[in-house]
Structure 1
Amino acid sequence: MNFQIAMLLGQDGVTNGAIYALLALSILLVFTVTRILLIPQGEFVTYGALTMAAIQAGHPTPLAWLLLVLTLIECALDLVARWRAGKGLRIDRQMIVKCTYAIALIIAMRNLPLATLPVAFQALLTLCLVVPLGPRLYRLFFQPIAGASALVLLIVSIAVHVAMVGVGLLVFGPEGARTTPFSQTGFEIGPVTLNSQTLWVLIMSVTLIFALFLFFGRSLYGKALQATAVNRTGARLMGISPDMAGKTTFALATFIGCLSGILIAPITTLYFDSGFLISLKGFVGAIIGGLVSYPLAALGALVVGLVEAFSMFWASNYKEVIVFTLIIPFLLWRSLKSHHVEEET
């Protein structure tokens, strides 16, 4: 290995690590607020990438219809909950806005010249289609069991992941897809040409990581969201809605996942089932951060990306094994560091 090859591998590792860092932060975000390990986080990445590819190909994706169906089911569940609470079957303004939004997206997908739209508008349309799926999934599958044990929440999360993979196959098909880069320019750094798409990934990743760190570390609303994971009843008594906190964090996680898919779609080909491995590598970064520290999770994900890149050069057949083996020493260290219940009693 010479210096040029090391630089190229390092560039790939940093690019992948930045994406894994975003996924690690979103997994950490959802877990600290709702105690849910968001296994389907990788599906939001593939949904974002494949939706962007479909829009650039001029194909109106059926994802808007899926959003409408989930919205109608959510409104029906809200009406039943109000009826059981003795508030009557009254359709409020929020329900009308949600349904109108989904219908407007269906009309837009049918009538807009999707293939000729500017890339920025295509990305915005992709976010508008994918991001609302997160709060809908929380309302349908997780909100009714929000007070359940962590094991039950994990089982439901795995079931949602499996369902989303199947829906992805129906909506996008088995073929992989790539999108056109945001820019074709490159920058010479010594013997290596730095792709502009790599810069987009790094800039957006650093911006989001810093924003999340400030939001949860310095803002009152961010701390209020974390309070729902510590004590849902206490948070509700203090005027914090656990249901709204769950929907908000799922919306943020979906936004991060979809944006990650848009950023890496020009770099690598993604398929309907590509999200699981991507999500697992983000999960390794979150574990390195102990599921509590945003900076450590981002740093751990960056290490995962670098190890994966250099493993492809030295032992490409075992790169996945090497990456996932990273989790073992950190789990062992945290197991030895923590105090067991038997030792405390």
Structure 2
Amino acid sequence: MDLTIAGILVIDGITNGAIYALLGLATVLVFAVTRIIFVPQGEFVAYGALTLALLQTGRVPGTVWLLLCLAALAAAMEAFSVGRQRGAGAAVKATLRLVALPVALALLTAWAAPQRFPMIVQALLTLGLVASFGPLVYRVAYQSLEDASTLVLLIVSVGVHFAMMGLALLFFGAEGFRNPPFWDERLSAGTLTVSGQAIIIAGSTIALMVLLWLFFERSVYGKALRATAINRLGARLMGISSHSAGRLTLAMAALIGALSGLLIGPTTTVFYDSGFLIGLKGFVAAVIGGLASYPAAAVGALFVGIVEAFASFWASAFKEVIVFTLIIPILLWRSIAGGHSDEEH
């Protein structure tokens, strides 16, 4: 291996690591606010990539019909729960707040798909469509279990992952898609060549990190999520709804997953089940950050990306094994360094 090859591998590692950083940040965010180890995070990546791919062909993506089905189920659960406690009028208002935007986005996308709008418009529709899954998934799968233990929430997450992956096969089919790049230029720096898509990925990741920092530091909703992450009971006593915090958190996680899908779609062929491995690598990055530190998760993601790139060069058949083996010494080190706490009750 010479310096040119090493440089190429480092660039590939940083490009992939930027995607894993987004997923790691989403995983840390969801766990901090809701205590959910969100296994289905990768499914949003696949949904985003496949939705844009089908919009590119002029077809109505299966995401539309899946979102409408999920909205109907969430609406029924919300109407029954709120109606039993506060009456029919409150049930109607709560149901409309939950499903009005997802249904509107689904219908808008169904109309826009055959029109073949420019790629940027299709990307925005994809982001809105997939982000709408977050609050609905939270309402259907997690809201009634808010006070359950982390283990129970993890088991539910595994079930949600398999459900979303199976539904992806049903609504998208087994065919894989590869999207066109957002910027197909290639820039040379000495002996190295950097693709425009790699620059888009790095720039989007940095921009999203800055936006997340501004959201948590400057906005009321961001401060409410921070308060919920620090002390759930205290946040409730101060009037912060745990339902709203959970729904907003999963909406943000779904948005980040959809953006990751749009960014990774031009670099690899995405299938209905591709999100699982991608999401797991983001989870490894989150574990490096202790499921608590956003900067450590981002640094861990870059480390995972670079290790994967070099593993692909030296032992491509074992690259996944090498990447996921990283989690073992990290967990051992954290266990020894952090000590043990009493089991959560």
Structure 1 Cα separation of the partners of residues 329 and 31 of structure 2: 22
The 5 Å alignment of 1:78-157 reads: 78-88=78-88, 90-93=90-93, 95-96=95-96, 99-112=99-112, 114=114, 116-157=116-157
SS of 1:272 mapped into structure 2 = coil
Q: TM-score, normalised by structure 2?
A: 0.93
Aligned residue number for residue 18 of structure 2: 18
Alpha-carbon offset, residue 175 of structure 1: 1.1
Amino acid at match of 1:41: Q
Change (3 A) 1:86 1:113: closer
**For residues 218 and 254 of structure 2, what CA distance do their matches in structure 1 show?**
22
Q: What is the distance in 2 between the residues matched to 1:97 and 1:144?
A: 18
Matches of 1:15 and 1:339, distance apart in 2: 35
CA deviation vs aligned residue, 1:211-231 (integer Å, no higher than 9, x gap): 324443565543431332444
SS of corresponding position for 2:318: helix
What 5-or-longer segments of structure 1 have no aligned partner? none
Letter in 2 for 1:239: G
Q: Does the 8 A contact of 1:216 with 1:223 survive in 2?
A: yes
Partner of 1:255: 255
Q: Is 215-224 or 269-278 further displaced after alignment? A: 215-224
After superposition, where does 1:286-305 map in structure 2 within 5 Å?
286-305=286-305
Q: 1:78 to 1:116 in 2, by over 3 A?
A: closer
List aligned pairs for 1:28-67, cutoff 5 A.
28-67=28-67
Change (3 A) 1:147 1:179: same
Deviates further, 201-210 or 45-54 = 201-210
Equivalents in 1 of 2:217, 2:24: separation in Å? 17
Q: Displacement of 1:253 after TM fit?
A: 0.5
Corresponding pairs, count: 342
Q: How has the CA–CA distance of structure 1 residues 22 and 62 changed in structure 2, closer, same or farther, with 3 Å as cutoff?
A: same
Cα gap change, 1:256 to 1:341, in 2 (>3 Å): closer
Answer whether contact 2:71 2:99 (CA < 8 A) is retained: yes
Deviation per CA, 1:51-110: give whole Å up to 9, x if none: 000000111113212212222222222221223214235554563465554444444344
Aligned to 1:71: 71
Normalized against structure 1, the TM-score is what? 0.93
Q: Distance in 1 between matches of 2:132 and 2:315?
A: 40
The 1:339–1:98 alpha-carbon spacing in structure 2 relative to 1, beyond 3 Å, is closer
Is the alpha carbon distance of 1:317 and 1:180 closer, same or farther for their aligned partners in structure 2, counting shifts above 3 Å? same
Q: How much identity, in percent, do the aligned residues show?
A: 52
What corresponds to 2:319 in structure 1?
Answer: 319
Aligned residues of 2:60 and 2:113 also touching (Cα < 8 A)? no
Q: Secondary structure at the match of 1:79?
A: helix
Matched residue type, 1:147:
D
One-letter identity of the residue aligned with 1:38? F
Counterpart code for 2:112: L
Asked if the contact 2:49/2:265 (under 8 Å) is kept, the reply is: yes
Judged with a 3 Å threshold, the aligned counterparts in structure 2 of structure 1 residues 25 and 65 are, in CA distance, closer, same or farther, namely same
Q: Are 2:275 and 1:272 aligned?
A: no
Aligned partners of 1:218 and 1:99: how far apart in 2? 28
Give the alignment's Cα RMSD to 1 decimal: 1.9
Q: Does the C-alpha gap of structure 1 residues 33 and 59 become closer, same or farther in structure 2, counting only changes over 3 Å?
A: same
Aligned pair 1:175/2:175, yes or no?
yes
Moved over 6 A (4+): none
Distance between the aligned counterparts of 1:113 and 1:295, measured in 2?
A: 38
Q: 1:286 to 1:97 in 2, by over 3 A?
A: closer
Q: What is the aligned partner in structure 2 of residue 222 from structure 1?
A: 222
Aligned position for 1:330? 330
Match of 1:5 in 2: 5
Are 2:53 and 2:177, in contact at CA under 8 Å, matched by a contact in 1? yes
